[in-house]
């Protein structure tokens, strides 16, 4: 078979098919996702406090680039690699939202719709290109890039939305309760056939961000701000330890790996 024939055949079958590089959606997925959102919130604030906003954003951006590079270079889903990337997206997504509000003075009433529009734009381009938004279809490089762009947008949106609700009278605990109730809505709607699986997943995914961030802020911030005053450092450390524990368990048990990849 000639080289020219092989080239034509590759073009005919389309983009290179990759092994799945995202975890199965289990209860562990949602628990770790919420933990990463809270840890990212307090870690971002801690870095900004210790290093200053500009060095913190620079360090966070660099760490994000490195983490995503490693994730994109991986040949298959690896729990430690994937969740490290999620953590760095969480930290940098928080910084992105905070830069608009604290650095540029953009109110949350503006930044929240802005990030919502950005997320909608990513979804629109992704769907127009791939005709699906399902995470079970992340088997090409292009879809993987769309996936991570979406994840980054959801973290920025969730941060802005969480801070918005906390500053309009609900407080951090009230916001946590609000989002805990809200995250059950897509699950119930999907169960009763009012929302398809893809829409239910991404709706819940967005809500995990303000949920985790509100709980972490409530634990870390001072009594004067409606928190428990446990401190940014201790909360960041404790949530990080919890993440390491869950991810370590999944790395060993592979309970978040599909049957096909489990055999690899």
Single pTM value for the model: 0.87
Is the residue at 4 inside a domain?
no
Greater pLDDT, 167 or 130: 130
> Position of tokens 């608009």?
100
Q: Are 200 and 190 in contact (CB under 8 A)?
A: yes
Handedness of CA 188, 190, 194, 200 (dihedral sign): positive
Condensed to tens digits (0 to 9), the pLDDT of residues 49-98 reads: 899 888 988 999 999 999 999 999 998 899 999 999 999 999 988 887 77
Which stretches within the chain are classed as H helix? 3-13, 27-51, 53-73, 79-98, 108-130, 141-165, 171-182, 184-191, 197-220, 232-253, 259-262
Condensed to tens digits (0 to 9), the pLDDT of residues 141-177 reads: 999 999 999 998 888 888 888 888 877 778 889 989 9
Q: Are 73 and 241 in contact (CB under 8 A)?
A: no
Q: So what's the pLDDT on residue 259?
A: 55
Is the residue at 12 inside a domain?
no
Q: Is the pLDDT of residue 11 over 70?
A: no
Is the residue at 94 inside a domain?
yes
Instruction: Please give the residue range of the domain that contains residue 208.
Output: 19-254
- C-alpha 95/C-alpha 56 separation (Å) is 8
Is the residue at 6 inside a domain?
no
Q: How many domains does the chain have?
A: 1
For 15, the token pair is 């983009």
Work out the mean pLDDT of the chain and round it to a whole number.
87
State the Rg of the chain over Cα.
19
Is the residue at 262 inside a domain?
no
Q: So what's the pLDDT on residue 12?
A: 42
Q: Are 175 and 165 in contact (CB under 8 A)?
A: yes
Is the residue at 123 inside a domain?
yes
For 65, the token pair is 């680039």
Is the residue at 166 inside a domain?
yes
Q: Is the pLDDT of residue 238 over 70?
A: yes
Res. 18 pLDDT band, cuts 50 70 90: low
């Amino acid at each position: 078979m000639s080289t020219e024939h092989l080239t034509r055949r590759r073009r005919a079958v389309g983009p290179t098919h990759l092994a799945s590089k995202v975890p199965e959606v289990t209860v562990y997925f949602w628990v770790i996702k919420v933990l990463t959102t809270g840890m990212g919130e307090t870690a971002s604030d801690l870095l900004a406090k210790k290093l200053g906003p500009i060095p913190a954003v620079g360090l966070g951006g660099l760490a994000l680039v490195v983490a995503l590079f490693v994730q994109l270079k991986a040949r298959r889903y690896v729990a430690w690699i994937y969740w490290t990337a999620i953590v760095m997206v969480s930290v940098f997504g928080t910084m992105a939202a905070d830069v608009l509000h604290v650095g540029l003075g953009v109110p949350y009433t503006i930044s929240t719709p802005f990030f919502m529009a950005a997320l909608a734009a990513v979804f629109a381009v992704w769907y127009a290109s791939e005709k699906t938004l399902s995470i079970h279809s992340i088997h090409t490089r292009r879809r993987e890039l769309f996936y991570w762009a979406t994840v980054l947008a959801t973290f920025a949106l969730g941060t802005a939305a969480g801070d918005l609700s906390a500053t309009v009278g609900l407080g951090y605990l009230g916001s946590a309760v609000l989002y805990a109730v809200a995250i059950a809505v897509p699950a119930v709607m999907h169960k009763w056939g009012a929302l398809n699986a893809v829409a239910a997943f991404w709706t819940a995914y967005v809500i995990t961000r303000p949920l985790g961030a509100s709980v972490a802020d409530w634990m870390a911030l001072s009594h004067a701000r409606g928190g428990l005053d446990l401190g940014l450092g201790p909360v960041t450390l404790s949530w990080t330890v919890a993440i390491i524990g869950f991810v370590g368990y999944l790395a060993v048990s592979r309970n978040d790996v599909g049957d096909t990849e489990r055999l690899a």
